Every structure is written in structure tokens, then in C-alpha cells.
Amino acid sequence: MEEHTAGAAQDRPTVLLVDDEESILNSLRRLLRSQPYDILLADSGAKALEILEQRPVDVVMSDARMPSMDGATLLAHIHQRYPSTLRILLTGYADMALIAKAINEGQIHRYISKPWNDEDMLVTLRQALAHHNSESERQRLEALTRQQNEQLKTLNSTLEKHVAARTAELQQTADMLDLAYEELKRSYVTGTEVFSLLANLRLPKAKQTNRQIIELIRVYCITHGLDEADSRNMTMAAALYNIGKLSWTDSMMTAPADLLHHNERDLYRAYPKQSESLLMTLEPMKDAARIILHHQERWDGSGFPDHLKGEAIPLGSRWLKLAVDFIELQRGLILERQMNSDEALLFIRKYAGKLYDPDLVEDFVGVCAAYQSDVTLADPTVRVLTTRDLAPGMTLARNLNADNGMLLLNAGKVLSGPLVDKLIAFEAMEGAKYSIFVKIPEEPETAASAAG
């Protein structure tokens, strides 16, 4: 009980009354007796200064005319020694010089004329204490801010030492952060692209995707005549589509999606929502965030996070999924085997109407051909055949690699009967199934007609 009382007493403001006339002090004490203040009395300026040396005081109210040390001089001393203590001058004389001294040297909060009005006196003290509390809180918050800034400086210093000890690649990251800061002030689009490059440093170069997806989406925007706003949203979505993956482990970041463990699959399915959540607080990013949120929805409704189906999926999300899958299939981030560009497009064609909007797929093949020079599927003379469908005279449209990555035949190679037989035998020995991109030779009658 005593502790509680002591704590309550510490919370009460302290008011020091200074006057050489005992009757005035008694009168003020009676007036303030019912108020929630601790009242201290001093009959001289010297006595007031002694009290201030012994304990903190919130407000000092001093008479102006006192022997030895007048009120203005006392309040000037208090201002110099205890600037946080609020100062009020109580004067019964129309002495403008004394009041001016108190204002200029003591920087008093208010002055009150004698005789005073009790209600005005109480209101003045309440307002003075409220101002004092507000000022004390402001100073406390400033001190807290300075302390936190010092802690941040210490943390930054530690971080800089840590970064300096890391590899040259992380040093490059620090340099790019400086660039990102400047670029973000100029353009959200440029800023998001730079940040995506920083995020990609989590991955080996062979697994990085963001730059290629950005460029592919930019080709789409140009070839389809998207306006500036839609182009900006699509480009930012391409840059930051996988920002929600940054909390993953390094091994999960590089693993094919179809090889993830059960608990990892739940985390994988959460990344579009996580990416959207990180960006929704930025007003210019809201439309891009919505594109990102739904870019793993599937045309048949089996996607995530909301199982949207068909045209309920935003158009931008449908295009972003095509671009993401096209690049990630080539990086081995969806299936264990890394595909070439044409194989990735064959996969997308195969799942048109299931994973992808069937009305967009062939258009997307054309965009890929404009973006990536090694895409051959856009050429109407190119066919994709199995080894048993091959015939002598056909020409390889692109390199043929074994499943282990070994180059078997170069693009431009004209197939012969024995070569076709060797391919069939090698395929059987490897237990593989090759997709062969070939140019179909011109029909004889067509050639004869052209000659005629």
C-alpha cells in the first residue's frame, strides 16, 4: 500500500510558490490545497534555489517584488539552471521594466497580476502544467529517437563490417543498393527492376529469372500496344513476382517445384500472396500486386491462391504466368530437367486449356520468337517429331541434346537413314524420348513447279 502511495505521489506535479509575504503564500496554499499538486513554499529567491537543488520542480510561481533578489532575477537563474521548469511571474505592480526583464531573461510562461482571480489562477496553472507535460513528453520522445538512431548507427556499422567480410558478389549488392535508392526516387518501374536484380543474387546465375521475364513482358507490351500505365504495371509485376520467395532457404529457392516436399509445397503455394502483401502498402504498386497475386492461377481452376478459373483470372496475370513458366522451365525451376526455349513452348502448348489461356498461347509463341532468337516454333516449316517419325533429308532446326546435356547433333545437320537409325538406338539405350525440331524438305512436285 505504501509503495502504491509513493508511486502516486511521484506522478503528482510539483509547484513551488515564492513570495516574501507569508500571507500571500498562505493564501495561495489554501487556493491550491484541493488541487492534485505537491505544493512547496519559499519566502525568498535564495530559499527557492536551495529547494530546486534538492528536488525537481515542474512550475515555479514567484512574486515580482522581493528583497535581495527580485522575481525576474530568480526566474532568470531558474531558466539558466533548470530550463525545463516552467516559470510564472506574480506581480502587483505595473512595472513594465520588471515584466520585460522576466520575459527576456527568465523567458516566463505567463505573468499574473495581483490581486488575482482564483478561477483564472487555477486555469493558468492547469494550462502551464499541461504545457509542461507536453514539452516533457516531446523531449522524452526526442531522446528516445536519438537513442534509437544511435542503435541504428551501431547496427549499420556492424552490418557494414559483415558485408565487407563477404564475397565480391555481396559487395556488388551493396553498390546496387545505392543505385536502387537513387533510381527509386525517379521511377517505381526502374526501382523495381533494380530491386529484382538484387533479389536474384540469392540465386546462382543459371537459376536467375527476373531480368529475362522483365524483357519478355516488355516485348509483349510493345507488340500489343499497351498504354504507359498497363506497361508499367506489367513490368513491375514481372520484376517482383517472386519477392515472396526471399524468405525461403537457398535449397528451396533453387529446387524444381515438382520435387518440393509436402511442407515446402505449402510454402510454395503461399508465395504469390506473400509477394502481394509486401507490395499492397505502396499505392503505385497496387495494380502490379494484384497481377502478381493471381499469376499462379490456372485456366482450369486448379491453381492458387484463390482457384480462379478462365477469364476470372486477370488478363495481366495470365500473361505473367506464361512468361514466368517459359523462363522457369528453361531454368529447371518447375521440372527437374532444364528445357530449351522450344521445349518450354511445347510444354505450354500441351497444357493450353489446363494451365494456360488457350487463346493466348499461339500469340505468346510469337512474342517469344520476337524476344528470343533461338525460338523456332514460330516458323511454319518447323515440325516437332519423335525419332521414329524422322526421315532422310530432314534438317535439324536446332541443336539436339541428350537428357544429360551432351550435344548429339548441331542445328543445320541434314539427316540420313543411318543417322536416324543411330538416334533411335541411342534413345532406346538411354531410355529417353527425344523431341526433334526439324525443317520439312520441300515436296518434289513443288520444287518441279518452281523450276518450271
DSSP string, 154-171: HHHHHHHHHHHTS-HHHH
Cβ pair 326, 344 in contact under 8 A: yes
pLDDT class of 96 with cuts at 50, 70, 90: low
81-85, 325-329, 371-375: range with highest mean pLDDT: 325-329
Instruction: Specify the pLDDT at position 102.
Output: 61
Cβ atoms within 10 Å of 336's Cβ, excluding its own: 11
Instruction: Specify the pLDDT at position 268.
Output: 93
CA distance 169 to 160: 14
Cβ pair 339, 327 in contact under 8 A: no
Cβ pair 369, 378 in contact under 8 A: yes
Instruction: Specify the pLDDT at position 174.
Output: 58
Domains of the chain in start order, with CATH, are: 2-138 (3.40.50.2300), 168-375 (1.10.3210.10), 379-452 (no CATH)
| pLDDT per residue as tens digits for the range 274-310 | 999 988 888 788 999 999 999 999 999 999 999 999 9
pTM beyond 0.75: no
Instruction: Specify the pLDDT at position 330.
Output: 95
In one-letter notation, the amino acid at residue 295 is H
| pLDDT per residue as tens digits for the range 335-382 | 988 899 999 999 999 999 999 999 999 999 999 988 887 787 777 888
CA distance 114 to 111: 10
Q: Which three cell numbers stand for residue 31?
A: 487556493
In one-letter notation, the amino acid at residue 89 is L
| pLDDT per residue as tens digits for the range 6-49 | 334 457 899 999 999 999 999 999 999 889 999 999 999 999 99
Q: In whole angstroms, how far apart are CA 205 and each of 11, 196, 331, 411?
A: 62, 13, 10, 26
User: What number is the average pLDDT over the span 105-109?
Assistant: 69
CA distance 204 to 428: 34
Return the half-sphere exposure (C-beta side, CA atoms, 13 A cut-off) of residue 99. Answer: 11
CA distance 409 to 353: 34
Return the half-sphere exposure (C-beta side, CA atoms, 13 A cut-off) of residue 213. Answer: 33
Q: Which three cell numbers stand for residue 334?
A: 518447375
> In the predicted model, is pLDDT for residue 125 greater than 90?
no
156 or 270, greater pLDDT? 270
195 or 95, greater pLDDT? 195
> In the predicted model, is pLDDT for residue 182 greater than 70?
no
Instruction: Specify the pLDDT at position 101.
Output: 65
Based on its alpha-carbon atoms, the radius of gyration of the chain, rounded to whole angstroms, reads: 40
In one-letter notation, the amino acid at residue 22 is E
Cβ pair 323, 220 in contact under 8 A: yes
Angle at 276 between CA 271 and CA 281, to 5 degrees: 145
In the chain, % of residues over pLDDT 70: 84
Cβ pair 234, 217 in contact under 8 A: yes
Of the candidates 335, 313, 370, the residue with the CA atom closest to the CA atom of residue 346: 335
Burial class, 39, CB count within 10 angstroms (exposed 0-12 / middle 13-18 / buried 19+): middle
Q: In whole angstroms, how far apart are CA 43 and each of 22, 67, 321?
A: 7, 10, 84
List the beta strands (DSSP E) in 51-190: 59-63, 86-91, 110-113
pLDDT class of 441 with cuts at 50, 70, 90: low
pLDDT class of 319 with cuts at 50, 70, 90: very high
In 138-169, which positions are buried (b, 16+ CB within 10 angstroms) versus exposed (e)? eeeeeeeeeeeeeeeeeeeeeeeeeeeeeeee
Angle at 192 between CA 160 and CA 225, to 5 degrees: 165
> In the predicted model, is pLDDT for residue 450 greater than 50?
no
| Helix intervals (H) in 187-227 | 188-200, 210-223
Q: Which three cell numbers stand for residue 23?
A: 500571507
Q: Residues 6 or more apart from 65 whose CB is under 8 A from it? A: 71, 91, 92, 93, 95, 98
> In the predicted model, is pLDDT for residue 62 greater than 70?
yes
Of the candidates 289, 287, 291, 308, the residue with the CA atom closest to the CA atom of residue 355: 308
Instruction: Specify the pLDDT at position 435.
Output: 83
| pLDDT per residue as tens digits for the range 397-412 | 878 887 776 778 888 8
| pLDDT per residue as tens digits for the range 195-236 | 777 777 788 888 999 999 999 999 999 999 999 889 999 999
pLDDT class of 4 with cuts at 50, 70, 90: very low
Instruction: Specify the pLDDT at position 348.
Output: 96
Q: Which helix (H) or strand (E) holds 330?
A: helix 315-331
Q: Which three cell numbers stand for residue 445?
A: 512436285
Cβ pair 433, 427 in contact under 8 A: yes
